[in-house]
Amino acid sequence: MKILVLGGTRFLGRTLVEIALAKGYEITLFNRGKTNPDLFPEVEHLKGDREGDLNPLRGRKWDAVVDTCGYVPRIVKKSAEGLAGSVEHYTFISSINAYADLSKPGIDENFPLATLDDPSVEEVTGETYGPLKVLCEKEAERAIPDRVLVLRCGLIVGPYDPSDRFTYWPVRISEGGEVLAPGPSERQIQFVDVRDLVEFILHMVKERVGGTFNATGPAYRLTMRDFLEECNELSGRAARLTWVSERFVIESDVQMPGWVPEGWVGMFAVNCNRAIAAGLSFRPFAATLQDTLDWHATRPADYVLNAGPDQRSEKKLLHIWHQQGKDGRQTDESRS
C-alpha cells in the first residue's frame, strides 16, 4: 500500500511512518522539511508548503493520504482538492474539541459541532481550534466525498509527545516526594496511546472506511486517582499524593496536565464505542506509562517539561494548601 503523509516527522506523523514502514507500506512524506528533516532517509521526501506549493504532488498516485497537520480550512481545502484525483482515501485528524458543548459526558459522533461567528477567521487559538477543525472536516469531505475518514481524537500520548501533558505525571511521580494531585480524584480522564491510534488509522485505511469516529480511550472508565496511583505503582510507591480541591486549582491559576474543570468534563468522558467496534484497541495502561518514561530518559538531562508546575511552584502551592487546612478549610478530597 502506498500512503502519502502530510507532515510525518513529529509525534503522530512520526509514529505513523515508523509503524507503517514496519508493516511494509510504501511511504511518501510531504512537508516543508523544517522539523526533523533527517528522519526516515529511506522514504521519499517531497518538499513543499501545502498553503502554497503543491506542485510536487501533481501527477502522482497513492492509495491513501493521512493529514496529520490540518488546522485552517482554506489550506485543507487546497490540499484535499489537489489530491482528489490522486488518492482513493483521505484520513483527516480532527479533535474532540470539534464538539460545541464539552460540559456533558457521553459525547458521541452525533453531538452538535462547534461553530465560528466569523468563518473567515484563521488564527488558531484555544477558542477557535475546535470550530476550525470542524470546517476543515467539511472541506475535506466536500473535496473527496464519501472517501474521507475523520478521527476526532482525544489526548494523544506516548513516546515523542512534545506537549508533555501526559509525560509530566509518570516523570513527576517517579521523582518521589509530595505530589500535588488535582481533584476531584474520581473525575474521569481519557487518552489514547499514539501507537494504538496509528494501528487504528492503518486498519481503517486498509479497509477504506469512511465516516467520523471519536478516537480516544480506554475502553473502561479511568479516574484521575486510578491514573496517578498506577504511575505511583510503577515508581515503586515513591510519591505521596496530596489531593487538592478543584476550587484550589482554579483559584491558584495552575495548569495541571490532563485535568479539566467541571465545565469541561465532557472532553475526558467521550463515547468512543463506535471506534472500538470498528477495531480501535488499547495496550495495557502500564505499558504506555513505562514506554513514555523510557522515551523521556533519552532526552537531554537538563530537559524542562513543557507542562505542569515546576518544583518550586508545586512546593509553594502545597504549602498554601496545607496552611488552608490548618485554618479548617481543608476539604474531604484532600484527606481521601
Instruction: Reduce the secondary structure of the chain to three states and give it as a string.
Output: CEEEEECCCCHHHHHHHHHHHHCCCEEEEEECCCCCCCCCCCCEEEECCCCCCCHHHCCCCEEEEEECCCCCHHHHHHHHHHHCCCEEEEEEEEEHHHECCCCCCCCCCCCCECCCCCCCCCCCCCCCHHHHHHHHHHHHHHHCCCCEEEEEECCEECCCCCCCCCCHHHHHHHCCEEEEEECCCCCEECCEEHHHHHHHHHHHHHCCCCEEEEECCCCCCEEHHHHHHHHHHHCCCCEEEEEECHHHHHHHCCCCCCCCCHHHHHHHCCCCHHHHHHCCCCCCHHHHHHHHHHHHCCCCCCCCCCCCCCHHHHHHHHHHHHHHHHHHHCCHHHHC
The pLDDT value given to residue 164: 97
The pLDDT value given to residue 53: 79
Within a domain: residue 128? yes
Residues 245 and 293 in one domain: yes
Residues 28 and 88 in one domain: yes
Residues 30 and 138 in one domain: yes
The pLDDT value given to residue 332: 43
Find out whether 320 and 252 touch, Cβ atoms under 8 Å: yes
Within a domain: residue 217? no
pTM of the model: 0.95
Give dist(CA 43, CA 36) in Å, integer. 14
pLDDT (tens place) for every residue of the chain, 336 residues total? 999 999 999 999 999 999 999 999 999 999 998 899 999 999 999 998 888 778 899 899 999 999 999 999 999 999 999 999 999 999 999 999 999 999 999 999 999 999 999 989 999 999 999 999 999 999 999 999 999 999 999 999 999 999 999 999 999 999 999 999 999 999 999 999 999 999 999 999 999 999 999 999 999 999 999 999 999 999 999 899 999 999 999 999 999 999 999 999 999 999 999 999 999 999 999 999 999 999 999 999 999 999 999 999 999 999 999 998 855 455 545 444
Residues 147 and 231 in one domain: no
Within a domain: residue 196? no
Instruction: State which of 100, 126, 153 marks the end of a domain.
Output: 153
Residues 142 and 181 in one domain: no
Within a domain: residue 185? yes
Residues 43 and 180 in one domain: no
Residues 123 and 231 in one domain: no
Residues 109 and 175 in one domain: no
The pLDDT value given to residue 284: 94
Residues 174 and 133 in one domain: no
- Give the CATH number of the domain where residue 106 resides: 3.40.50.720
Domain count, the chain: 2
Within a domain: residue 73? yes
The pLDDT value given to residue 327: 54
Within a domain: residue 184? yes
Residues 261 and 299 in one domain: yes
The pLDDT value given to residue 115: 97
Residues 175 and 304 in one domain: yes
The pLDDT value given to residue 325: 80
Within a domain: residue 197? no
The pLDDT value given to residue 336: 40
Residues 119 and 176 in one domain: no
Give residue 259's domain range.
168-189+222-268+285-335
Instruction: State which of 153, 178, 213 marks the end of a domain.
Output: 153
